[in-house]
Amino acid sequence: ELKVEQNPLFLSMQEGKNYTIYCNYSTTSDRLYWYRQDPGKSLESLFVLLSNGAVKQEGRLMASLDTKARLSTLHITAAVHDLSATYFCAVFMDSNYQLIWGAGTKLIIKP
């Protein structure tokens, strides 16, 4: 059974700081997604990582995938308040077309 673990589950940080959210998964997959969810809102797609070594960047967010280590990271550079949200990673299972989700990282960025 595929398990997806995110850490930390909660992160409070100051504006301007850098931090990394980690997403570990337990079985082979080379398809990983990052989503953002604002309180009371639905999920917004951030990144799709489709191969080992994939790196994608959008603004202050950068995501990477290491399929050998079964690890993806979401790095936040010089955080700003607008990035406060819950961030989810999800791993695609080719065997049954399911996305298996991490529990989410709630990020609070204080001005």
Partner 1 sequence: GAGVSQSPSNKVTEKGKDVELRCDPISGHTALYWYRQSLGQGLEFLIYFQGNSAPDKSGLPSDRFSAERTGGSVSTLTIQRTQQEDSAVYLCASSLWISSTDTQYFGPGTRLTVL
Q: Based on CB atoms, which residue is closest to partner 1, 64 or 92?
A: 92
Give min distance, CB of 78 to partner 1, in A: 27
**How far apart are alpha carbons 30 and 70 in whole angstroms?**
9
Site string for partner 1, 70-89 (x = CB under 8 A): ------------------x-
> DSSP characters for the chain?
---EEEE-SEEEEETT--EEEEEEESS----EEEEEE-TTS-EEEEEEE-STT-EEEETTEEEEEETTTTEEEEEE-S--GGG-EEEEEEEEETTTTEEEE---EEEEEE-
Site string for partner 1, 11-50 (x = CB under 8 A): --------------------x-x-x-----xxxxx--x-x
Q: Based on CB atoms, which residue is closest to partner 1, 68 or 96?
A: 96
Name the site residues for partner 1 (rule: CB under 8 A): 31, 33, 35, 41-45, 48, 50, 88, 90, 92, 94, 96-104
